Chain A
Amino acid sequence: MNKAKSLDFIKKYTMIIVLIVVTAFFAWRTGGAILLPMNVSSLISQNAYVFILATGMLLCILTGGNIDLSVGSVVCFVGAIGAVLMVNMKVNMVVAILIMILVGTLIGAFQGFWIAYVRIPPFIVTLAGMLAFRGLSNVVLDGMTISIKECTAFVNLFGGGANCYIPDFFGNGSLNLTCVFAGVLATVIYVFIQIKSRMSKQKKGYAIENMAVFQIKTLLIGLVILAFSFRLAQHKGIPTVLIWVLIVVMVYGYITSNTTTGRYFYAVGGNEKATKLSGINTNKVYFLAYLNMGFLAALAGMVTIARMTSAQPTYGQSYEMDAIGSCFIGGASAYGGIGTVPGVIVGAVLMGVINLGMSLMGVDQNMQKVVKGLVLLAAVIFDVVSKRGGKLISKN
């Protein structure tokens, strides 16, 4: 491998390398505590909302570095509505879920309309939304906390932690066999898809990766899935919220990489004028980004109240920052047009690992914020400087 190639390799997999190094660091500092089954499991449950919101945020950022500041407030507002519906008004769970999704999507449509068709800067529109929906959450909840502990079906469906796990269909030992089985199945499916797509490419005569690289990559990812599911199996099994996260990640991963609509997000962020002149409705692309953000914020709202088993006017604070941070750490460009769902997930996991690791080490909450801030800054500096060909200072 020559120098340019190894540089390319490092650039492509920077965040994964960083994630491994950081995890190793915390494993060392916490005496391996961060890798305990319980902690691996809570990494998922605690950060489920980040994965969901960051995926939606990616679409907004792709359109040109545009962010959505309102998601934290929307999460809280949707959660508040859900709690009021289910607890105070005794509405059926399914109806309540549908209403929550509808409310979130409508909020997304409302903000998306101003951003896409009237071209009000997203920063302004979503800042307004952030204030307005925080206020409305207070109004809906009357400033109080509503407990949803009684709505066990809802909590089990969207929750993580406590007792919200996929039940074990086989055996009843200390190891959750369903989880192991699911992990093995996922690994087999993953390897199968990889090999099949490689063979189909080969058959049609298209470029394929080097065989060794392909084997190592497939093997590593397969092993990670196996190890991960084994860890979860050692601690009560699959948190239900993981199912939702996986659905979101897979669906959006597919949309962004394989559909025409997904392609348009990248195109608009890469060069809006060229995209418009290629006959693509760019207003619609912006609109969809924010509409979808509202939809995913609603999902995150349900996940949040299910995990907390309550709704409070203060929930969701700075969630938008977690989502935005994950995107940029995960390699999304602050100028738009660049970024992937898997990248963003790596970014979110990295943030989660740093949070969890520092908590386990007993680092002060405030210092944790300092570290997170610096990590975010470093990630974006890296992005900008590497794009400038390694020159740190911009030419005047």
Chain B
Amino acid sequence: MAKILLEMKNITKTFPGVKALDNVNLQVEEGEIHALVGENGAGKSTLMNVLSGIYPYGTYEGDIIYDGEVCEFHTIKDSERKGIVIIHQELALIPYMTIGENMFLGNERGTKLKINWNETNDLAAKYLKTVGLKESPQVLIKDIGVGKQQLVEIAKALAKNAKLLILDEPTASLNEADSKALLELLLKFKKEGMTSIIISHKLNEVSFVADKITVIRDGATIETLDKEKDDISESRIIKGMVGRELSDRFPKREKHIGDVMMEVKDWTVYHPLYAERKVVDNVNLNVRKGEVVGISGLMGAGRTELAMSLFGKSYGDNISGQLFINGKEVHLNIVQDAIKHKLAYVTEDRKGNGLILSNPIKINTTLANLDAVSLHSIIDKDKEYGVAVEYKDKLKTKCPTVEQNVGNLSGGNQQKVLLAKWMFADPDILILDEPTRGIDVGAKYEIYCIINQLVAEGKSVIMISSELPEILGMCDRIYVMNEGKIVGELEGSEATQEIIMSHILKAGK
């Protein structure tokens, strides 16, 4: 047995209100490629952030034993000094700097007072050759494609004398050829003795490249599969990823499904910056009165983009297709139109796009429908207060008063305020984008109850979620989306996690 390079023992990490990691154990041998798999939010990235010192020593429990010694990393620099280098999912390159400058950012060659550009470019060229990138170190990052940028990231890691390379979803934004090249590169590094940890959703890639696979689910390690001993086929991995029972985590509801409320036909959306990239590709879907329709898919499948483009074209360019509400075609060019046609979009990014954190609950609650609490655009503050209290009670938001700033609430309660805001706008169709992201199980249950209540009132709900159990537990009908296309439509009763996953994976090939 080879030497154990890294051991993470009983790692527990809690965020306010959520236990992100619970007694996680991970062993990585020297010279192997170790894959970490699990659903979105299972805790993979959190674990790697603990390892690399982004969450400093002391903010988690448990030990990190690297190269035989217990380590206490306080910053990323500490872990990098040991040769642990993480490459994040979002590329961290600066567009208007050259490849060479990026590669040695924070690690500059020469002295503090004089950067040695010759050495910088010379070394950069050497590492570029190692990763097989044929570009001059003096080319600007913005002028090369995403695939090449990913290679620059790897070269940058090598320049830091990486011994343990961590790649978080390295192929998420790459096309097939680039992905293939990248995986080959990892195998080549392995031959040269490099140890890597790769986080990926693309299970075919994991099967192809990994020696060992550790499955994480709900912040706990489930199992570690060994290529030599175990079956590491995709279906076997999926079973590990999703293999939990769906007990009473979802409240029951009676179905009263009516006529088609909203229908989308041939909906196509292009990326606002890269005009030739299709983000949503010829999507057809509908939702009925009193129905919960789920849109499943991996991150980056185009679900949020689809929802936002429907919601008053708040995302994307060159949008084409037809939208029918109650059988009539409508053209929603701005958000105001969408709200007027009783459509609501509850964002996945409640802090960035949903709430005004520095404002109290009551102001957030009425923001999307301020006219309802005002007369001739003068706000009736007493009425506003009353509305806020009413929704606070209705949704069981836990807060001392509605004067409390939203920024001080827990994630679950923030989500409730966001829901209250859109419920107060009195929509018929609600698009809920990841309505339970980052909130604990109890609050999730309450959100599900609210959704049931909404459809019981005859509203339609479109739920976008990356959590398969939630989609299965809540939805009457499920669309599966991948790379901008609808790749499957399933009745809620016939769907299983395996079927959905295989739809996604089949389309991904």
Contacts and interface: CB of A to CB of B under 8 A. Distances in A.
B193 to A, nearest CB: 34
Interface in B361-377: 363, 367-368, 370-371, 374, 377
B421 A278 contact: yes
B378 interface: yes
Contacts of A201: 382
A388 to B, nearest CB: 13
Contacts of B58: none
Contacts of B335: 276-280
A267 B382 contact: no
A386 to B, nearest CB: 13
B379 interface: yes
Contact of A337 (B336, B356, B374, B381): B356
Pick the most buried of A270, A275, A281: most chain B CB atoms within 10 A of its CB. Answer: A270
B386 A259 contact: no
B464 interface: no
Contacts of A204: 382, 386
Interface stretch (B202-210, B213-221, B255-263, B346-354): B346-354
B354 A277 contact: yes
Interface string A257-282: 01111010011001101111111110
B382 A200 contact: yes
Contact of B377 (A200, A259, A278, A279): A259
B336 A279 contact: yes
Nearest to B383: A204
B312 A279 contact: yes
Contacts of B339: 279
A206 interface: yes
A280 B421 CA distance: 14
A207 interface: yes
B324 interface: no
A206 B374 CA distance: 17
Pick the most buried of B335, B352, B356, B374: most chain A CB atoms within 10 A of its CB. Answer: B356
A188 B334 CA distance: 48
Given A263-B363, A267-B367, A277 B377 contact: no
B136 interface: no
Contacts of A274: 347, 352-356, 367
Contacts, number: 84
A270 B356 contact: yes
B385 interface: yes
Given A259-B378, A260-B374, A279-B336, A271 B355 contact: yes
Contacts of B385: 206-207
A278 B336 CA distance: 8
Contacts of B312: 279
A207 B401 CA distance: 9
Nearest to A335: B358
B314 interface: yes
B338 interface: yes
Contacts of A333: 358
A75 B403 CA distance: 39
A271 to B, nearest CB: 4
Contacts of B353: 271, 273-274, 277
B371 A281 contact: no
Interface string A84-115: 00000000000000000000000000000000
Interface in A240-296: 258-261, 263, 266-267, 270-271, 273-281
B359 interface: yes
Contacts of A200: 382
B127 interface: no
A354 interface: no
A38 B302 CA distance: 69
Contact of A278 (B352, B367, B378): B367
A111 B345 CA distance: 34
Contacts of B371: 260
A337 B358 CA distance: 8
Interface in B306-322: 311-312, 314
A338 interface: yes
Contacts of B382: 200-201, 204, 206
Interface string B403-438: 100000000000000000100000000000000000
Contact of B370 (A263, A270, A277): A263
A263 B379 contact: yes
A260 B377 contact: yes
A333 B421 CA distance: 25
Interface residues of B, number: 34
B456 interface: no
B314 A277 contact: yes
Nearest to A396: B75
Contacts of B334: 279, 281
A281 B336 contact: yes
B357 interface: yes
A280 to B, nearest CB: 8
A275 B335 CA distance: 10
Contact of B368 (A259, A261, A278, A338): A278
Contact of A270 (B311, B347, B359): B359
A266 B352 contact: no
Contacts of A279: 312, 334-336, 338-339, 368
Contact of A258 (B314, B354, B379): B379
Interface string A26-55: 000000000000000000000000000000
A338 B367 contact: no
A259 B370 CA distance: 10
Contacts of B401: 207
Contacts of A280: 335, 367
Pick the most buried of A201, A204, A207, A279: most chain B CB atoms within 10 A of its CB. Answer: A279
A258 B378 contact: yes
Interface in A274-320: 274-281
Given A260-B371, A260-B374, A270 B358 contact: yes
A35 to B, nearest CB: 37
A387 to B, nearest CB: 9
A273 B345 CA distance: 13
Interface in A127-184: none
A393 to B, nearest CB: 15
Nearest to B346: A277
A260 B358 contact: no
Interface string B320-341: 0000000000000011101100
A261 B377 contact: yes
Contacts of A338: 358
Contacts of A258: 378-379, 381
A331 B358 CA distance: 14
B10 to A, nearest CB: 27
Nearest to B354: A274
Contacts of A337: 356, 358-359
A206 B386 CA distance: 7
Interface of B: 311-312, 314, 334-336, 338-339, 345, 347, 352-359, 363, 367-368, 370-371, 374, 377-379, 381-382, 385-386, 401, 403, 421
14 contacts: A206-B385, A206-B386, A260-B370, A270-B359, A271-B352, A274-B347, A275-B356, A277-B354, A278-B368, A279-B334, A279-B368, A281-B336, A333-B358, A338-B358
User: Which 5 pairs, one residue from A and one from B, show the smallest C-beta to C-beta distance?
Assistant: A270-B356, A278-B368, A279-B335, A279-B339, A260-B377
Given A270-B357, A280-B367, 18 more contacts: A206-B386, A207-B385, A207-B403, A258-B379, A258-B381, A260-B370, A263-B367, A263-B370, A267-B359, A270-B359, A274-B347, A274-B356, A277-B311, A277-B314, A279-B312, A279-B334, A281-B336, A337-B356
